[in-house]
Chain A
Amino acid sequence: MLKLLRIELFKIFKRPRTYIAFGAIAAVVFLIQIALKFDGKSYVDLLMSNLSGSFEFSDEFKGKLLNGYLICFVILNTLLIQMPLLVALISGDSIAGEANMGTLRLSLTKPVSRTQYMLVKFAASIIYTLALLIWMAALALFGSMIIFGTNDMVVLRSEGIEQMKNFDVLWRYFAAFGYAAVALTTVSALSFLLSVFSENSIGPIIATMSIVIVFTILSEMNIPIYDETIKPYLFTSHMVAWKGFFYVKADAEGTTINGSIENLPAVLRSLGILVIYIILFFSSAVWVFKKKDILT
């Protein structure tokens, strides 16, 4: 199985299109970093316009606010919506691509069960997803820390502001990236499932993106009828729970409690729901694949 996994990884990383995703991430990260390096103060003015009536924002304050931690948060906010497309590019191609090239039947002549074959394919997709995430973390977090330095982190929510001490941020990012890995694996599993039904990789990729887009819109809409009926069950509602690591507890006087998470049980519940989705998507994919008549 390990040999098969190595072959799958070789196939993924041999293809030039695999690196499109890495290039796209690097381009987005650098563009955001350059923009904020040279015109970050205008961005802070925009963010803080709501507060400018009550607080003074000196240039020094704006400079400190625009530190590596905030920049990384901005990048993650932007990229984690686009990342599913990049993940689907590989996992959507996983089975459908083989079928399209006519190599699926040949691959299954190897002395491995269909379940093992699916496990290897999915494991390769997960490794690709993790590699993409590590690449993003390296550029967005460590790159921004080098370019902008570090300071206290301020997170803007729709109804409040969270501020964390400098020393209390990095572990949150590690936790958030760990969570994002699970979130993106969910998308990968969905795309992998859809890949089983198709003999052309474009279909699963577009279908995955369509589902993610529609679900994300539903997750972000504030319509009471959806809030309790649909939203809690959409995996996209739980994909943004990585932000929960940046929501802190405070005492009665609004003083941040270092090292705290506002609602850890909710974040863990979201994580559990995503894991259930992954199991559901993957086991469905295996079940369908085992029953499938492989003709190509």
Chain B
Amino acid sequence: MMFNLLYPVKRIFFIVGVFVSLLFSVSLKAQTAEELIAKVKAKLEKVNDYQANGKMKTNVIFIKAPIANVKVYYKKPNKLRINNEGGISFIPKGSMNINLNNIFVNTTGFDIIDIGKEEKTNLRIIKLLPKDENSDVVLSTVYIDEGQSLIKKAKTTTKENGTYELEMNYGKYADYGLADKVVFSFNTKDYKLPKGITFDYDDGSKKQENPDKLKNKKGKVEIVYSAYVINKGVSDTVFK
């Protein structure tokens, strides 16, 4: 009898509970995209400057290059320099985007679109659309680890230089949003020089017939950082 009397009350509580939790979760999700961006940004803003040692590997279809010991210098808001002090390195255009702060240099200038979670990785996907029509960046997509407030992947599409992609692995410096390993992918344009200039030696070996081999492929640069010196000051002359 008692059970029958309480049943409608329980039912109402249940419905109200579901409704409230739905509302809460919707409002939580709507806030989270911006909140998450703010959290990530706050983490990155802890770094005013850094210099880091690293090993850089270049993987471009038409370049054979050794692994280089590089020094990476960064200074707020968006100064970045990769120096190979002991040799030569081919630095791709747009490499300054390996500094994640570059994405958020002017957050107010973006519309933030929450795409949800990537199934495989459970990373939160957020798109940043620049409000400024003259901006070279057309669209940035960031894949964020919500638990750690860290960007694990980023794709930036530009008007002039195609699409850049970044993949980050974090370790000791995760608290500063600084990666231990960065893989920067970029578009490469055709490469071909006339044989009349290069006077190549033809060793008679059959090359693979693939006319598209050297055309518009993705190149990759991988930097594995060994040590960061954070917020100890970096001279402006480094960036000249």
Contact = CB atoms under 8 A, between A and B. Distances in A.
Given A250-B64, A254-B64, A240 B201 contact: yes
- A interface residue count range (under 10 / 10 to 19 / 20 to 34 / 35 or more): 35 or more
Interface size class of B (residues with CB under 8 A): 35 or more
Interface stretch (B53-61, B120-128, B132-140): B53-61
B143 to A, nearest CB: 24
A105 interface: no
A237 interface: yes
A58 B84 CA distance: 12
Interface stretch (A46-54, A86-94, A135-143, A184-192): A46-54
Contacts of B226: none
Contacts of A156: 193, 198
Given A56-B95, A158-B193, A165-B87, A231 B202 contact: yes
B219 interface: yes
B219 A56 contact: no
- SS class, residues of chain B in contact with chain A: loop
B93 A152 contact: no
Interface stretch (B18-26, B34-42, B151-159, B183-191): B183-191
Nearest to B220: A253
Interface stretch (A23-31, A109-117, A241-249): A241-249
Contacts of B207: 159
B87 A241 contact: no
Contacts of A55: 90-93
Contact of A50 (B95, B192, B196, B205): B192
B233 interface: no
Contacts of A266: 203-205
Contact of A256 (B60, B65, B91, B204): B65
B199 A220 contact: yes
B45 to A, nearest CB: 27
A77 B90 CA distance: 24
A54 B193 contact: no
A154 interface: yes
A54 B92 contact: yes
A157 interface: yes
A84 B96 CA distance: 49
A134 B230 CA distance: 52
B200 interface: yes
A270 to B, nearest CB: 8
B133 to A, nearest CB: 24
Nearest to A242: B201
A128 B234 CA distance: 58
B66 A164 contact: yes
B88 to A, nearest CB: 4
A36 B199 CA distance: 20
A271 to B, nearest CB: 12
Interface in A218-241: 220, 222, 231-232, 237, 240-241
Interface string A56-98: 1010010011000000000001000100000000000000000
B8 interface: no
B84 to A, nearest CB: 8
B87 A152 contact: yes
B11 interface: no
A163 B84 CA distance: 14
Interface string B62-75: 11111100000000
B64 A160 contact: yes
B57 A247 contact: no
Contacts of B188: 54
A66 to B, nearest CB: 10
A263 B205 contact: yes
B65 A50 contact: no
A254 B63 contact: yes
A56 B88 contact: no
Nearest to B63: A161
Nearest to B214: A159
A152 B66 contact: yes
Interface string B204-224: 110100000010000100000
Contact of B194 (A158, A161, A254, A267): A158
Interface in A262-295: 262-263, 266-267, 269-270
A28 B225 CA distance: 46
6 contacts: A54-B186, A151-B88, A240-B199, A240-B201, A254-B61, A254-B64
Interface of A: 50-51, 53-56, 58, 61, 64-65, 77, 81, 151-152, 154, 156-166, 220, 222, 231-232, 237, 240-244, 247-248, 250, 253-256, 258, 262-263, 266-267, 269-270
Interface of B: 57-67, 86-88, 90-93, 95, 186-205, 207, 214, 219
What 4 A-B pairs are tightest by C-beta distance, nearest first?
A266-B203, A250-B64, A152-B87, A53-B189
